[in-house]
A and B are shown apart, each in its own frame.
Chain A
Amino acid sequence: MILYNLNHLRILESEAIYVIRETAAQFERPALLFSGGKDSIVMVHLARKAFFPARIPFPLVHIDTGHNFPETITFRDKLVSEIGATLLVGSVQDSIDKGRAVEEKGINASRNMLQTVTLLDTIEENKFDACLGGARRDEEKARAKERFFSHRDEFGQWDPKNQRPELWNLMNGKKNIGEHFRVFPLSNWTEMDVWQYIAMEGLELPSIYFAHDRDCVQRDGQILSASEHLSLRPEEKIERMHVRYRTVGDMTCTGAVLSPASTLSDIIHEIAASRTTERGTRTDDKRSETAMEDRKKQGYF
């Protein structure tokens, strides 16, 4: 008997493409939330495959805090022009200027929380009814409870205790006017799966994922990048360090890791030996035990 086998990455790929196509089929105005991070780069690649040889039939949406790593923005613009996608940028600075959001104060001020306002405004303005995101269940304990198709009420809120059961591969995207869905095709992927997939497919990534020399500040066990957005405490000093990033968020809340890993293969080996999760480098998750759950309920990514 002939055996028909697919490896785990191809099965995950097939599942993700199925979910992306289901989103395009069930919703009128989907969008893909694109941060420039590795998970959203994988998402764009999967979306291209899902509709090839046609172009991706929905826009990419970037919620720009103004505190991005410049490398991420350069990468974003190059990718968008290469694949001929439409990019919409929702700006947190605009939300602040319009008085929709208020800048945080203090030494650890971050625009992370403000993104929710801009995100929900962008969704409403463009009447998006489904937003595809690259979040994974292994990232964080509140995300472990997410569905592929996650319902949001007219305020953009998530009600984790009252989620629809998701059976077999049957996705229920029915909703009332004003409500929307968040869709997570990478739900079943782990950090390692993402890296192995990037290596298998030979995907390009922003340079900050690979080891490089950078001016950094050590604060509360995190290595933060020195930048115009980061104010220093009197005792803090800038040091030159050899680092890379495991996740990419804002410069103000994403920590770097000391690392010599300069190739995909180095990174895969480093993660295999790593004893902490990637979200361990995010100060936005450490604000409280339920930081992610609280933000998600309000409409965060």
Chain B
Amino acid sequence: MDIRDLDNYHNMELLRFTTAGSVDDGKSTLIGRLLYDSKSIFEDQLEAVERTSKLKGFEHVDLALLTDGLKAEREQGITIDVAYRYFATPKRKFIIADTPGHIQYTRNMVTGASTANLALILVDARKGILEQTNRHSFIASLLQIPHIIVCINKMDLVDYSQEVFDRTVSEYKKLSSRLDVKDVHFIPISALKGDNVVDKSENMPWYQGSTLMYLLENIHISSDENHIDCRFPVQYVIRPQATEFHDFRGYAGRIASGVFKPGDTVKILPSGFTSRIKSILPLHALNVTDTIDEAFSPMSVTMTLDTDVDISRGDMIVRENNNPTISQDIDMMICWMSERPMMANGKYAVKHTSKDARCIIKEIRYKVDINSLHRLENDKNIGMNDIARIQIRTTLPLFFDSYRKNRITGSIILIDEATNETVGAGMII
């Protein structure tokens, strides 16, 4: 296989996925194998890892050392943070957000999951569904990752037994029926031996499905984007100070969702004025006359409008008859990411699309036990790694959709105004 088919790169897609797991479930081995088999590990990287493994007295090459970049991580043998890895096949470029399984797991998993199209969940065939499988699956569902692949790993250690596989699948289905997950696939693999990772396993003739690599390359992702609800948060207003473009006013931003075309009647929020799209600069060419017929998410574009209206950063351009919710009272699920606990009635800065505002925590409704998925109605202490349902009131109306419908206009972050740290990741209900 020519990994980087050079004539094909104009047609390559991009898939972002997240992996989560604890130390022993073979996650590093699996990632190492995907990188190695797609020729994404280079000789100098491999040599460095081999050298370090030998110095530490390991019998095998520890592929986890590839992702552990910082001194403290190598010293302590832990991963502190989300590590991003890249590999490509002729069909797709992949971005892996690899998140560690230790203490700060929730904070890191949520961060990695926030931009992922797919979650890879590893289950040890000998152990079946564990508490951490619940946790990972809950976060994947909370963050609305469109696709989940459950890899039932270490099949070599259970004699490649179909019965073990079937039992684990039905156990998982019981769990996922309580969650909001859309597209789940199951693959029996051995990351160590390579069964069903890139090549089809000869040890499991009873398995008729695809290999992991085939699924990663072919899973249908083009409908993951919302191409129905038109939302264009204005990020920056372009006004060239040049005689040549004296009257030019361009509204720059990345399309959050939907499809925009020149001639479309649009509404500007919060003013409520309507106008029509005059042209869309696609940025493919540095030329004002080279405009395009339609623009869709996640394209960064610059729009011009027919009429002169007052628009600034934080405003949103939408279609006339399809509007987001406009409100200052917002219900959300929140993942807390700071050592300083959430302050009931506390005030925080918020960022939502291109808009900045402030908010007050009006109500903490309940906390979720992410292992049992139970609601803890009486526990209102929200600390690091906790997930809770809350209501906030903002200083300005925000234009939002439910996170379930729109991951861009439905997401929000809370910032501690004393430390400037990002402390909360909110998903609007």
Contact = CB atoms under 8 A, between A and B. Distances in A.
A81 interface: no
B246 to A, nearest CB: 11
Contact of A141 (B69, B245, B313): B69
Contact of A172 (B71, B238, B283, B351): B351
A174 B83 contact: no
Interface string A211-248: 00000000000000000000000000000000000000
Contacts of A276: 42-44
B44 A280 contact: yes
Contacts of B412: 170
B11 A14 contact: no
A11 B283 CA distance: 12
Contacts of B12: 7-9
B160 interface: no
Interface in A60-102: none
Contacts of A11: 14, 298
A174 B420 contact: yes
Interface stretch (A107-115, A123-131, A159-167, A255-263): A159-167
Contact of A170 (B9, B13, B337, B413): B413
B33 to A, nearest CB: 18
A14 B300 contact: yes
Interface stretch (B85-93, B195-203, B357-365): B85-93
A277 B236 contact: no
Contact of A174 (B6, B43, B415): B415
A193 interface: yes
A14 B299 contact: yes
A7 B408 contact: no
B276 interface: no
Interface stretch (B109-117, B122-130, B174-182): B109-117
Interface in B13-61: 13-14, 42-45, 48, 52
Contacts of B244: 53
B239 interface: yes
A164 B422 contact: yes
Contact of A17 (B6, B84, B283, B420): B283
B120 interface: no
Contacts of B415: 172, 174
A167 B114 contact: yes
B126 to A, nearest CB: 32
Nearest to A45: B286
A48 interface: yes
Nearest to A187: B84
Contacts of A171: 351
Contacts of A290: 71
B70 interface: yes
A168 B70 contact: no
Contacts of A269: 6
A268 B240 CA distance: 37
A276 B115 CA distance: 29
A165 B422 contact: yes
B131 interface: no
B42 A49 contact: no
Given A168-B115, A168-B407, A196 B240 contact: no
A193 B44 CA distance: 20
A196 B9 contact: yes
Given A161-B70, A192-B4, A200-B10, A21 B44 contact: no
Nearest to A1: B223
B232 interface: no
A103 interface: no
Contacts of A145: 69-70, 80-81, 83
A168 B235 CA distance: 15
A51 interface: yes
Contacts of B110: 165, 167
B298 A6 contact: yes
B411 A293 contact: no
Interface string B303-316: 00000000001000
B230 interface: no
Contacts of A274: 42
A5 to B, nearest CB: 5
A167 B408 contact: no
A21 B300 contact: yes
Interface centre among A3, A12, A167, A188 (most CB of B within 10 A): A167
A169 B69 contact: no
Given A8-B14, A49-B283, A170 B411 contact: yes
A275 interface: yes
A18 B72 contact: no
B225 interface: yes
14 contacts: A24-B236, A52-B238, A52-B288, A53-B242, A53-B244, A137-B86, A144-B69, A165-B108, A165-B337, A167-B111, A170-B412, A190-B88, A272-B3, A280-B44
Given A141-B70, A144-B83, 10 more contacts: A8-B92, A17-B254, A18-B235, A51-B252, A165-B425, A167-B111, A167-B114, A168-B115, A170-B412, A277-B44
Interface of B: 2-4, 6, 9-14, 42-45, 48, 52, 66-72, 80-81, 83-86, 88, 92-93, 95, 107-108, 110-111, 114-115, 222-223, 225, 227, 235-236, 238-242, 244-245, 248, 250, 252-254, 259, 281, 283, 286, 288, 296-300, 302, 313, 337, 349, 351-352, 354, 407-408, 411-413, 415, 420-422, 425
Interface of A: 1, 3-15, 17-18, 21-22, 24-25, 48-55, 137-138, 141-145, 160-161, 163-172, 174-176, 187-188, 190, 192-193, 196, 200, 265, 268-269, 271-272, 274-277, 280, 289-290, 293
The 6 A-B pairs of least Cβ separation, nearest first, read: A141-B69, A54-B240, A8-B14, A174-B420, A272-B4, A17-B300
